[in-house]
Amino acid sequence: MSDEALKDLARRAGVAIEWQDFAGRPQVVAPEVLRRILAGLGLPADTRADLAASRRAITRRSSIGDLAPLVTATSGRPTRLDVGGNESQPAKLELERGGSRAISLIPARGRLRVPAVQEVGYHRLLVEDRQIVLAVAPAHCREVDDVVPDAKLWGLAAQAYALRSQGDGGIGDAASIAAFAEAAAKRGADALALSPLHALFAADSSRFSPYAPSSRLFLNPLHASVQFLFDKAMVQQAISESGVDAELLFQETQPLVDWPGAATAKYSMLHALFELFRYGPEFDGPLGADFARFQSKGGELLAEHARFEALHAAQMPERDWRRWPTDLQNPASPAVVAFADAREHEVLFHVFLQWIADRSLGMAQERAREAGMRIGLIGDMAVGMDPAGSHAWSRQPDILRGLTIGAPPDLLNPGGQDWGLTSFSPRALVERGYGPFIDTIRAVMRNVGGIRVDHAMGLARLWLVPDGAPPSEGAYLNYPLTDLLRLLALESVRNGVVVIGEDLGTVPPSFHQSLEQAGIHGMRVLWFERDPSGFAAPKKWQRNAVAMTSTHDLPTLAGWWRGLDINMRATLGKLGDVESSEVEAERRTDRTLLWQRLVDEGTTTSSEPPPDDPQPLVDAALDCVARTESVLYLVPLEDLLGQEEQPNLPGTIDEHPNWRRRLPVDANDVLEEPVVARRIETISEIRPRQ
C-alpha cells in the first residue's frame, strides 16, 4: 500500500501531512499517525480496500442531490455551490420570515452559483427534489463599535467560582456575578468577562476544570442562585431539611474552593429544594409554568443531558460512559429508555438544575445591563468537551473518536500538550447541517452580551492527538473556517452578542485577518505585544481587538515581575531542555524593557525599576494598557488586586491550585479595596464612559 495514496486521502480529508513548528522548522506527519487520525474521522486506511472506500466517501460529487443540507452565504454576495454545472438551474427561495421568490442558479467557472440574497437568516432553497438551508449571514459579527460607536470601553475579567457573596455555599454563583457586575458598572465598566459556566459532572465534582466540560450546551448548576427564583423561607427550609447549614457556612469561609465538599453540600440543598418545589404550590403557579416552558423548549437535547446526569450518578464510580455496559452506551437503547422511565423523578431533578442555572444567569445579565453596562456579561466557550461527558454520550455522531485536542511542542511546552478533550468532526458538521455548532454557539450566547471563543484557531484547524500517543505525534485537521465564521456572524447579530476570539500563539496564515474581516475581536496581551525595541507602545496596539494585561493561563503582572511562573515551571520540570538560569536571564532583560516602556509612556515617574515590590509595576502596567486605542480593555481581577498567583498553571493538575482560588472579600466589596479603587479610578479617567 503506497504512502502516497495515504497522503492523498489525508489531504482530501483536511489532514495536514506537513506543518511548521514554533521555530519555523518543517515537520512531516508519520504514516501511522495519519491512519489513526483518519480512523477518528470515520475514514479507515489500514488496507488498500479501506483507502479506496474512504476516498469514495469523500469524493466530491456533482449532482444537486449530493449537496450538503446547509449552505452558508454572506448577505448581498452570490455564493458558489459545491456542484458542477454549465446551465442555469431554476430554484425557489423561501425566506425565514415569510415570502418566497423564484431564482436561478447560474453557472460560474464550472460551478452553480446562488445569486445574492440580501435578507439575513436561515432560508430554504428548493431545487429539483432537494430542500437545502441557505444560511445568509451579515457581513460581520456584532462588534463593540456597534454597541458604542468609536468605542473605547473597559471591563473586568473574573473567574466565576472565585467571586464571593453571602449564601454562595463556597462557589461563586449568579448572585455573586450580579453583585460584582453592578459594583463594576457603577465605576464605569461596560463588561464582565467570566470563566466558562458550562455543565460539568454533577456526580463527579472532582472534575472541575471549567475548560473541560461535560457539555457546552448546558450550564453548571453550582453557579445557580436559588434566591433569584425562590423566597428566602423556602430556601432556608431546603437548607435545614438537607442538614447542610453548617457545611455551607464553612465552605463560604475557605480561601480555596473545595469542589467536592462544596458541591456535595450544594447538591444536597438543591435536592431538598426540588422536592419542596415539585410537591409544593409553586409547581402549579407561575414558577411551575415557567419550568414547564423551559423543559419543553429544551427538547431532546435537554432530555438527553438530564438522562446522562442521572445515569452517570447510577454508574459511579465508573466515570467514563465508554466503559459502561454496552446497552447503556447507546442513548437510544431500550435499557436507557427503561432507566429514564424508572428514574423519572431523578431525571426531572437535572432538568430543574438547568432551569435554575439558566434563569439565574439571565437575571445576572439583566442586573448588569440595568446597572449601566453596555455589553454586560461575556461568556466563555471552551474549545471542546470531555469525551466521557454528556455531549459525547448523547451525540456520538457529532464528535471525533479516538482523538483528543492539544497543541504541538512549543517554547513553553517542549513536549506538546494533550488537553484530553474532544470536539466536532468536520465531516459530521457538514453532514448534519452544522447543527451541533449552531446549537453550541446559541447555548453560549444565551443570557450574555458577549462571548469569548477559547482557542479560536479551532475554527480553522485543531491539533489532534491519537489516544495513547504523546502530544508531539499528532497532526493538524482543517475545519470549514468560512462557514463557521458566517454562522458565528449570523448568530451574533441575531442574539445581539459581541464575539471575541482567543487568537494567541501559533496561528494559521491570514487567520488574524480572517477574524478581523468577520468582525471577531482578537486578543492582545501585554506579554506578547512586542516590536524590535522591546514592548510595543500603546498607540501601536490593534484597535479592533481586546486589550489585556494577562489571561488565566498566563502569569499575573505581579507574578511575572517576581518570576513565580519560572520558579514553578522549573520545580515541575516544565522548562524542557532550557536551563532555568537562561529563562531567568531573559526575564531580567524583559523586566528592564517593560519598565523602560512604562517610563517612556509616563505611567511611572521612576527611572529605576523597583527591585522587589511588584506593586508599582502593576500600577504602571494597568495604566499603560488603558492608554491603547483598543475598543475594549478587559482588566483581569487578579491584576487589579495585585495578586501574584495565576488562576491556572497549564500542564499541572494537583501541583498548583488550579481553578480554586477565591477572592479575599465579597464581590460587592472587592472594588472598595483602596488599592483596587485607586487603580479603577485611573483606568476610568483614561477611558471614561462615553
**For residue 575, what pLDDT is reported?**
74
Average pLDDT rounded to a whole number, residues 365-370: 98
pLDDT in tens, 428-451: 999 999 999 999 999 999 999 999
Instruction: Verify that 265 and 310 share a domain, yes or no.
Output: yes
Predicted confidence band at 413 (pLDDT cuts at 50, 70, 90)? confident
The per-residue DSSP string of 255-322 comes to: SB--HHHHHHHHHHHHHHHHHHHHTSGGGGSHHHHHHHHHHHHHHHHHHHHHHHHHHHHHHTT---GG
Here the cell at position 309 is 446526569
239/270 Cα distance (integer angstroms): 8
- The answer to whether residue 53 is domain-embedded is yes
Predicted confidence band at 266 (pLDDT cuts at 50, 70, 90)? very high
Length of the chain: 690
Instruction: Verify that 76 and 104 share a domain, yes or no.
Output: yes
Instruction: Verify that 263 and 321 share a domain, yes or no.
Output: yes
- The answer to whether residue 50 is domain-embedded is yes
**For residue 22, what pLDDT is reported?**
80
The CA-based angle 621-512-497, given to 5 degrees, is 80
**For residue 606, what pLDDT is reported?**
79
Predicted confidence band at 513 (pLDDT cuts at 50, 70, 90)? very high
pLDDT in tens, 311-326: 999 999 999 999 999 9
Write the burial class of residue 402 (CB in 10 Å: 0-12 exposed, 13-18 middle, 19+ buried).
middle
- The answer to whether residue 455 is domain-embedded is no
**For residue 59, what pLDDT is reported?**
80
Instruction: Verify that 230 and 284 share a domain, yes or no.
Output: yes
pLDDT in tens, 163-210: 999 999 999 999 999 999 999 999 999 999 999 999 999 999 999 999
- The answer to whether residue 597 is domain-embedded is no
Instruction: Verify that 82 and 194 share a domain, yes or no.
Output: no
Of 335, 362, 389, the residue that ends a domain is 362
**For residue 577, what pLDDT is reported?**
66
Predicted confidence band at 63 (pLDDT cuts at 50, 70, 90)? confident
Instruction: Verify that 21 and 74 share a domain, yes or no.
Output: no
Q: Could you tell me the residue range of the domain that residue 100 belongs to?
A: 64-137
- The answer to whether residue 569 is domain-embedded is no
- The answer to whether residue 284 is domain-embedded is yes
Decide if pLDDT at 680 tops 90.
Answer: yes
Of 58, 78, 93, the residue that ends a domain is 58
- In CATH, what number is assigned to the domain containing residue 230? 3.20.20.80
Instruction: Verify that 260 and 133 share a domain, yes or no.
Output: no
Of 156, 135, 155, 158, the residue nearest 144 (C-alpha) = 155
pLDDT in tens, 270-310: 999 999 999 999 999 999 999 999 999 999 999 999 999 99
Instruction: Verify that 123 and 156 share a domain, yes or no.
Output: no
- The answer to whether residue 560 is domain-embedded is no
Predicted confidence band at 61 (pLDDT cuts at 50, 70, 90)? low
**For residue 174, what pLDDT is reported?**
98
Predicted confidence band at 685 (pLDDT cuts at 50, 70, 90)? very high
| Total domains, the chain | 3
What's the Cα-to-Cα distance from 177 to each of 156, 567, 620, 659, rounded to whole Å?
A: 12, 33, 28, 16
Decide if pLDDT at 1 tops 60.
Answer: no
Instruction: Verify that 78 and 95 share a domain, yes or no.
Output: yes
Task: Give this prediction's pTM.
Answer: 0.95
